[in-house]
């Protein structure tokens, strides 16, 4: 697939954005700043940026013909060899732009896919990214699509006519089917892994890319997962047990014995604005960790001037995953990077730092400086305890084969054998205990007050 780093000539880019009347100038400029970071992450160098204000996008060139001439002059003067647009382009627009500019033209979506391809390490991540790339490429494979003939190690070259294009399309469709079968197999393996965690309280980290999720994950689990101050440093989901420091007083949180509750934490891929739809779809097996979570930790970089917009962007993806209404703790990370004169207790009332998303449910931390971590763990455990219950389960003797499943779903703290039944006192997630009560007609359960 197309990879900036594999090209012999260093990519020197001109970035292009369009401001429609419905968008604010700040939002467009912030998006272009992010596009510059993406370009640098992919191994390119940003030479200059162009923004055009328009009532509507040009169907042929995305930008107007006058701005196109300005872009051609600028790219030649600066010595650019690639132009990157901040929004998705149609195949016709790419063709028209490349013919007029005599330069390679890509859009934000393809750039993100390229970065994901570089960052993928596991077989699963590589398969997910490759599938997204092929799905992205298929509708753009036209007689005018010239990327395939301009790259090294590409999936093929531009054919002489429609016959070659049809061959390419069939090859890509066949490859897509092959990759989808591979992901289905991986997904089944994940289902088995998740079944082993049925009796555990599952916490999943979500957030914009580069907000410090992996650093926070390491603090919560006392792990050494790879951390890097770059976009999309983490693609593969990682799961570890929550480690509770000795100075965290869990006995004050609830009555069910918090030491008996096992909590697992999962780190996931970071989100970003204008995330390609095919990428979200291809990462389904990884993002299912979000769907299966009992609690989400929505991590936000509070030191970023546009952090509240990042929260909204993540919420949009969570909505796509049907997980927006899950129990959530907003974790405002990197508080050590805020001006030192701001009092922590007053931050939520400052007009320059809006917190409408937290609804009183936010935690202020610095994962790097280990500030507020214990308080966050206490919050997590309070959610876990609220999700647990205690009950007496009565099992008819003829149903003793259900015992292994019962022990997997909860913690049995007391048992006694009577004439016609087995009586078990069990603690576990309310959802799992309710499942147990529906296992068989010979199983009855009486919940205890906690």
Q: What percent of the chain has pLDDT over 70?
A: 79
The number of residues making up the chain comes to 450
Pick the CATH number of 388-448 from 1.10.287.110, 3.40.50.10320, 3.30.70.240, 2.40.10.10: 3.30.70.240
Q: 4-118 architecture in CATH?
A: 3-Layer(aba) Sandwich (3.40)
Q: 197-386 has which CATH code?
A: 3.40.50.300
| Range scoring the smallest mean pLDDT among 118-127, 231-240, 283-292, 335-344 | 335-344
324 vs 347, higher pLDDT: 324
Q: Which 3 state secondary structure label does DSSP give 189? A: helix
Could you report the per-residue pLDDT of 13-26, keeping only the tens digit for each?
999 999 998 888 88
Contact call for residues 122 and 234 (beta carbons, < 8 A)? no
The pLDDT value recorded for residue 230 is 64
pTM metric for this prediction: 0.77
Domain layout of the chain by residue ranges? 4-118, 120-194, 197-386, 388-448
**Cα–Cα dist 189/289, whole Å:** 13
- Fold agreement between 4-118 and 388-448: no
Helices (H), 229-306: 277-282, 284-291
Written as six digits, the tokens of 276 are: 């390609």
Distances (CA, A) of 438 to 118, 371, 394, 450: 47, 44, 12, 22
**Cα–Cα dist 299/220, whole Å:** 13
Written as six digits, the tokens of 157 are: 């070259």
């Amino acid at each position: 697939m197309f990879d900036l780093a594999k090209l012999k000539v260093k990519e020197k880019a001109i970035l292009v954005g369009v401001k429609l009347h419905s968008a604010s100038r700040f939002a467009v400029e912030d998006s272009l700043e992010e596009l510059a970071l993406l370009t640098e992450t992919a191994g390119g160098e940003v030479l200059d940026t162009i923004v055009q204000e328009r009532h509507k996008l040009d169907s042929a060139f995305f930008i107007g013909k006058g701005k196109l001439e300005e872009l051609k002059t600028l790219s030649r003067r600066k010595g650019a060899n690639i132009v990157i647009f901040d929004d998705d382009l149609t195949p016709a627009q790419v063709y028209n732009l490349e013919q007029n500019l005599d330069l390679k033209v890509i859009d934000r979506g393809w750039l993100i896919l390229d970065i994901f391809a570089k960052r993928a390490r596991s077989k699963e991540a590589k398969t997910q990214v490759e599938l997204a790339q092929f799905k992205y490429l298929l509708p753009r494979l036209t007689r005018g699509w010239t990327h395939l003939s301009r790259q090294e190690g590409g999936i093929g070259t531009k054919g002489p006519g429609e016959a070659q294009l049809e061959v390419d399309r069939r090859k890509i469709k066949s490859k897509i089917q092959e990759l989808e079968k591979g992901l289905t197999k991986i997904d089944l393996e994940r289902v088995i892994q998740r079944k082993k965690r049925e009796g555990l309280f599952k916490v999943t980290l979500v957030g914009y890319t580069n907000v410090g999720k992996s650093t926070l994950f390491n603090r919560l689990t006392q792990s050494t997962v790879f951390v890097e101050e770059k976009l999309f440093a983490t693609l593969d989901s990682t799961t570890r047990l929550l480690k509770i420091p000795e100075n965290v007083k869990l006995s004050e949180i609830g009555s069910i014995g918090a030491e008996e509750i096992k909590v697992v934490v999962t780190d996931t891929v970071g989100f970003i604005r204008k995330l390609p739809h095919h990428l979200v779809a291809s990462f389904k097996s990884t993002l299912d960790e979000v769907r299966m979570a009992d609690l989400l930790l929505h991590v936000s970089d509070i030191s970023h001037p546009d952090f509240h917009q990042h929260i909204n962007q993540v919420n949009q993806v969570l909505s796509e995953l049907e997980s927006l209404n899950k129990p959530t703790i907003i974790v405002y990370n990197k508080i050590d990077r805020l001006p030192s004169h701001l009092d922590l207790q007053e931050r939520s009332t400052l007009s320059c730092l809006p917190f409408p998303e937290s609804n009183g449910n936010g935690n202020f931390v610095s994962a790097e400086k280990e500030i507020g971590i214990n308080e966050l763990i206490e919050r997590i455990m309070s959610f876990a305890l609220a999700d647990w219950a205690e009950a007496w389960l009565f099992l008819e003797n003829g149903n003793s084969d259900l015992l292994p499943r019962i022990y997997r779903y909860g913690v049995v703290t007391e048992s006694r054998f009577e004439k016609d039944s087995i009586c078990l006192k069990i603690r576990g997630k309310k959802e799992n205990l309710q499942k147990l009560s529906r296992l068989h007609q010979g199983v009855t359960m009486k919940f205890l007050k906690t």
